[in-house]
Amino acid sequence: MSQLYEREENNLGQRPARRPIVVLPDEVAERIAAGEVIERPVSVIKELVENALDARACAIRIEVRGGGLRLMRVSDDGTGILEDELERACLRHSTSKLSTIEDLGRLGTLGFRGEALASIATIAEMTLESRASETEDESEERPAQFITLRGGEVVERGRKARVPGTTVTVRDLFFNVPARLKFIRGARTENGHILHYIRRYALGYPGVRFTLVLDEHIALQTSGSGELKTALTEIYSLPLNEMLYEVERGAGEQYRVHGYIGNRVLAQNNRQYVTLFVNGRWVQSRVLYDAVEKGYRGLLAKGKHPLLVLFIEVAPDEVDVNVHPAKTEVRLFREREVLELLTEAVQAVLERSPVLPEEIKFPGPILATQRRLPGARRRGLHMSETAEDYLAEAAPPASAEAIAQLCPLAQLQRAVILAEAPDGSLYLVDQHRAHERVIYEHLRQRYAHGIDSAEDEEGEAVNGHLLLEPVIVELKRHQAELLEERLPMLRGLGLECERFGGRSFLVRSIPGGEGYEQLVGQVEDLVQIAAEDNEDWEHSLLIGLSCRSALRRGRELSQGEQQSLLTSLARASVPAVCPHGSPILLHYSRSFLIEKFDW
């Protein structure tokens, strides 16, 4: 306690003695630098896997014990390290990936700082063994050189037989940094971080065979087929034909976005399955994530996020990867164009993605002994021969072509239209949401760009429905000022409104057209939406108008009315979801029917 009082007295009563500026001892500086690079066991795995990928490895095996604190080992079949360069590779600022300052502007590798091995060796026991492939006959197993360092000091050198490639073994991580060791979680948590990281890079490099062994059990294994679709199946166990949509967009050689986006059934409650790569580097860029979220906002239920793997390819001199020590943030020269491309790519998929009849639960690593394609039959090729033929000829689900060809069969519970597609699949169509989408797009097309008068874009008068008795709406002062500024826009919608003194407004008409009678009792709610203090008030008003005037569930529709609604829905640019983001279509594919009925 006396020491505490003394410190407080020093802080309050007098200044502490000035401390001289000194150069830190090498041991202290090296541990500080190592702490910046290595935060937890997954940081070691990241650095070693990136080195293996830069070495053009075709197979990478990762072994982890005790959450990474006891042992981590990464083995690859890459180009290896020359004998006379092995010890040099463990020094700080040593790298083969750049030599001049100009090289930073055209990086083509994942690692480049030359800090990884030196940092790991400073805070752990590390054994590096390697055999370079270009100097020896790969058909024979010849001795490879190895070196062991502990706390940054070399403790052993030697040779052992191995095939070309490199193996790095790390033991006793943070043995000399107890402060960092206190913040490491349990083995299960650390294993989870490592598994998520390897999943990402197994998706980013589908041509590499990844094997992850956690505490002597295979947690993840990929075939290295080179097909991203196959890698997604191996890692997440997804049906290929109906769950994933391929994306390919770009502007020649300047920039390109490609990959796969899962349909709305795969949407999850967190963003961890949103995976982005820039020139082969996994990134966590807030700007890129915002562009992706802009693409699915309003197309998925609130709080839901899609499964997607997208690759952004740009010229090496148009991206800066030297922004953050972890190298997970980047800056793009053509940022605006790339962001627009990302948003458009996500929108194009999810706005036409129907709901499937069964909930799909993922992820879950598939062990090598258990892996098989989802949906595969036990009796030979019966299902694939039949279903694949139909799927190959059918129009994509929820496309304008597919919906236009639907034939209504019946109305279920006066709420859902049951329709058959030419390929034999079935659709359930929510009549209220479908009509809501049709009305919303009609309103948006005619009015969302702003109307200054009671005429549409072609100069024709907009017909509003006059109310038998005008409705008086009372607003708060700030709402009244906003609404008065927006009166021309409301007039363009057919919502005739004028100030009636103070904070009161008189509403004389509502938008005409089908369903206008349902709006009569909703006038006050619509005015409240129009007076909202936010940038999306116009969008909210269009949604409110379309929802309140759309067909209600419980209304019986004739065969002709059902067909007319489906025809109108086929013309919509976003036929699969209503303006609130809820699904309109439930799709029972031909392959699903074959599977369930055992045809």
| Structure confidence by residue, pLDDT tens digits, 335-391 | 899 899 999 999 988 888 887 776 666 554 333 333 333 333 333 323 233 333 333
Output the pLDDT for position 389.
37
Which pair of tokens denotes residue 583?
A: 């699904």
DSSP per-residue string spanning 329-397: --EETTHHHHHHHHHHHHHHHHTT-PBPSS------PPPTTT---TT--SSTTHHHHHHHHHHHHSPPT
| Structure confidence by residue, pLDDT tens digits, 472-506 | 888 888 888 888 888 887 887 778 888 888 888 88
* CA dist., res. 22 & res. 96, Å (int): 33
How confident is the model over 309-320, as a mean pLDDT?
86
Query: Is pLDDT at 146 greater than 60 in this prediction?
Result: yes
* CA dist., res. 566 & res. 434, Å (int): 8
Nearest to 193 by CA among 106, 291, 72, 99: 72
Record: fold of 393-599? Ribosomal Protein S8; Chain: A, domain 1 (3.30.1370)
Output the pLDDT for position 460.
41
Domain ranges of the chain: 26-221, 228-350, 393-599
Q: Residue 558 — very low, low, confident or very high, per pLDDT cuts 50/70/90?
A: very high
Output the pLDDT for position 36.
55
Q: Residue 142 — very low, low, confident or very high, per pLDDT cuts 50/70/90?
A: low
162 vs 113 pLDDT, higher one: 162
66 vs 458 pLDDT, higher one: 66
Output the pLDDT for position 424.
87
Query: Is pLDDT at 152 greater than 90 in this prediction?
Result: no
Q: Residue 44 — very low, low, confident or very high, per pLDDT cuts 50/70/90?
A: very high
What are residue 13's phi and psi, to 5 degrees?
Answer: -95, -40
* CA dist., res. 212 & res. 215, Å (int): 10
Q: Residue 430 — very low, low, confident or very high, per pLDDT cuts 50/70/90?
A: very high
Is this model's pTM higher than 0.85 or not?
no
Element (H, E) at 12: helix 2-13
How confident is the model over 125-131, as a mean pLDDT?
93
Q: Which of the listed CATH numbers 3.40.50.1370, 2.40.50.140, 1.10.3720.10, 3.30.565.10 matches domain 26-221? A: 3.30.565.10
**To the nearest whole percent, how much of the chain has pLDDT over 70?**
76
* CATH architecture designation of domain 228-350: 2-Layer Sandwich (3.30)
Output the pLDDT for position 456.
45
Query: Is pLDDT at 574 greater than 80 in this prediction?
Result: yes
Mean pLDDT of the chain: 79
Query: Is pLDDT at 538 greater than 60 in this prediction?
Result: yes
